[in-house]
């Protein structure tokens, strides 16, 4: 889904070579790499250049805000448009890292799904963290996060994202918390302790991942028998004839947003890009490359039924899903990530 195996140091190193290739007429758009970036390139970057003459230079990162803050604080902004997850968008907007958007220059808000039009970001796509497994490795298919914890019935390693976000929600669902109650429970000290206690049970069997490309790689190689994963990355592996499968039960879905870092010298071109990628037709092309949901409601009518069925926004896939609570992670994310890092290092 989406993510690319880069660390902050690699991302920064990559940025240092950008001036060698980027010209004043270029627009630097930074996203999470991998299959998602390939889909964005085909549906957005190349058609945008054909329509406007503005060349898009695609960069990669793994969601870190430290680089964005450093650029804004020093007024040396080299990223023009950024693909941002919802909690980071909310915090960055509050901290003045992103431009507050003028939607008259982008799209009619009425065309967008609820939640897509934020003060500092316009919905790029809807993705889901799901349970994935290799059908060639398991004779019996898992059906829930409870099965993810059942190492007797499904022996072997499990893959989980190395971070509190999504991992704590998964632990609570594995412990029997209903999807609709996850954040109500997690917002209490007892609920947090419950999640970490559940993770303690599985810790010897966990193989952590830090980039979206890793879960399908681990699954195909047999390093893990099942893993949390971004649905788009599993879909891409399926298109490459890998026998990976998705369990939508207990999936967690959220928006990613396009944002403009505060102080970019290419703000006019950045607005033109946001307007282009918010249209229905380019979005309908985007989902041909990766199975993430669209933010423009009109795009749905342009997408074939078999493609729609594989999107996180399909009704059957949303049935027992969790909407990621951006407000929760904005309020509690820093402290929970600190506790998670301390726990994981033990």
Confidence of residue 11 (pLDDT cuts 50, 70, 90): very low
Q: Judge contact between 248 and 69, C-beta under 8 A.
A: no
Q: Please state the domain extents for the chain.
A: 8-126+255-313, 127-253+321-345
Please enumerate in sequence order all residues whose Cβ is within 8 A of that of 212, keeping only pairs 6 or more positions apart, or say none: 1, 2, 3, 4, 32, 34, 36, 229, 230, 232, 233
What's the pLDDT tens digit per position in 263-304?
999 999 999 999 999 999 999 999 999 999 999 999 988 999
Give the pair of three-digit tokens for residue 330: 């904005």
Please give the Cα distance from 335 to 169 (Å, whole number): 15
| Residue 317 CA: distances (Å) to CA of 128, 246, 343 | 10, 10, 32
* Nearest CA among 251, 234, 247, 168 for reference residue 202: 168
List C-alpha distances in Å: 328 to 86, 91, 165: 11, 11, 10
Which among 33, 35, 92, 86 is positioned nearest to 67, based on CA atoms? Answer: 92
The per-residue pLDDT for 25 is 75
- At 48, phi and psi to the nearest 5? -65, -40
Phi/psi for 8 (5° steps) reads -60, -40
Q: What's the pLDDT score for residue 12?
A: 37
CATH number 3.30.479.30 given to 127-253+321-345 = no
Q: What is the DSSP string of 287-309?
A: HHHS--B-SBGGGGGGS-HHHHT
| Residue 343, C-beta contacts closer than 8 angstroms, at least 6 positions apart | 196, 199
pLDDT for 2 equals 46
Average pLDDT of the chain is 91
Domain 8-126+255-313 carries which CATH code?
3.40.190.10
Work out the percent of the chain whose per-residue pLDDT is above 70.
Answer: 93
Please state, in angstroms and rounded to a whole number, the distance separating the CA atoms of residues 325 and 178. 15
Domains 8-126+255-313 and 127-253+321-345 equal at CATH topology level: yes
Q: How confident is the model at residue 314 (pLDDT cuts 50, 70, 90)?
A: confident
pLDDT at 23 over 70: no
Tokens of 327: 């407000």
């Amino acid at each position: 889904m989406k993510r690319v195996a880069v660390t902050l140091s690699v991302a920064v190193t990559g940025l240092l070579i950008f001036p060698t290739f980027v010209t004043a007429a270029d627009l630097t758009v930074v996203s999470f790499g991998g299959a998602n970036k390939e889909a964005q390139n085909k549906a957005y970057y190349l058609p945008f250049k054909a329509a406007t003459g503005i060349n898009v230079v695609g960069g990669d990162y793994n969601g870190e805000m430290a680089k964005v803050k450093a650029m804004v604080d020093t007024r040396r902004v080299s990223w023009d448009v950024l693909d941002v997850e919802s909690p980071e968008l909310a915090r960055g907007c509050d901290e003045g890292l992103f431009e507050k958007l003028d939607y008259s220059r982008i799209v009619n808000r009425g065309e967008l799904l609820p939640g897509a039009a934020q003060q500092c970001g316009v919905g790029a796509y809807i993705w889901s963290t799901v349970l994935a497994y290799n059908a060639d490795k398991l004779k019996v298919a898992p059906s829930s996060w409870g099965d993810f914890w059942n190492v007797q019935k499904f022996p072997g390693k499990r893959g989980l994202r190395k971070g509190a976000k999504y991992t704590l929600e998964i632990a609570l669902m594995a412990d029997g918390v209903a999807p609709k109650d996850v954040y109500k429970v997690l917002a209490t000290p007892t609920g947090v302790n419950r999640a970490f206690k559940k993770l303690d049970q599985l810790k010897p069997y966990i193989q952590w991942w830090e980039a979206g490309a890793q879960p399908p790689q681990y699954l195909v190689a047999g390093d893990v028998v099942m893993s949390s994963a971004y649905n788009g990355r599993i879909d891409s592996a399926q298109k490459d004839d890998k026998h990976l499968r998705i369990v939508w039960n207990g999936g967690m879905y959220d928006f990613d947003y396009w944002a403009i870092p505060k102080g970019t010298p290419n703000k006019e071109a950045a607005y033109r890009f946001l307007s282009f990628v918010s249209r229905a037709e380019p979005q309908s092309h985007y989902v041909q490359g990766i199975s993430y949901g669209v933010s423009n409601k009109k795009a749905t009518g342009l997408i074939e039924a078999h493609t729609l069925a594989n999107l996180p926004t399909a009704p059957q896939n949303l049935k027992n899903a969790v909407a990621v609570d951006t407000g929760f992670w904005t309020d509690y994310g820093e402290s929970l990530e600190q506790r998670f890092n301390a726990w994981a290092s033990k």
